[in-house]
Amino acid sequence: MRKYLLLIGVIISIGIQAFASKSAIYMDIAKRGRSDKCTTVRRSPMQFPIDVFYDNETHQIEIVGDEELAAQVFLCDENGNTLDYSPCINAVLDIPSNYSGLIIIRIEGEDWIATGKIAI
């Protein structure tokens, strides 16, 4: 009986992983500042309501954030060339179908910038 329960559990876990096409992308968020400001190091990370996901099936990157955040989104290759752009925070950006390599996601606000990387 235990073997059957274990087999059913393994099949369910494989099935869940097979249907998970979206994966989250970790974003590093830093504050932009002027040189005349205080340069005190803040140890705690900044908290922004931004979620970035990569959909493997459609080759798209989805950025979901608070509507009140004014930011621009850039999708760049490893050489810094812009592949796609969005003037607002809530966007779905397309990756060229034949592209393989490192993708850099850059989200720029007024006084902050968030960057993330994913290998395709």
Report the chain (120 residues): mean pLDDT per 10 consecutive residues: 72 58 77 55 57 88 86 91 91 88 90 88
pLDDT at residue number 103: 92
Phi, psi (degrees; rounded to nearest 5) at 70:
-95, 115
Let me know: does 69 contact 89? Beta carbons within 8 Å: yes
- State the Cα–Cα distance between residues 10 and 29, nearest whole angstrom: 38
- State the Cα–Cα distance between residues 21 and 81, nearest whole angstrom: 26
Q: What domains lie within the chain, and their CATH numbers?
A: 22-119 (2.60.40.3080)
Rounded-to-10 torsion of CA 47, 53, 54, 55: 180
Phi, psi (degrees; rounded to nearest 5) at 63:
-115, 125
- State the Cα–Cα distance between residues 33 and 35, nearest whole angstrom: 7
Return the DSSP state at 95: P
- State the Cα–Cα distance between residues 58 and 8, nearest whole angstrom: 30
- State the Cα–Cα distance between residues 113 and 75, nearest whole angstrom: 13
Residue matched to tokens 């099949």: 11
pLDDT at residue number 42: 47
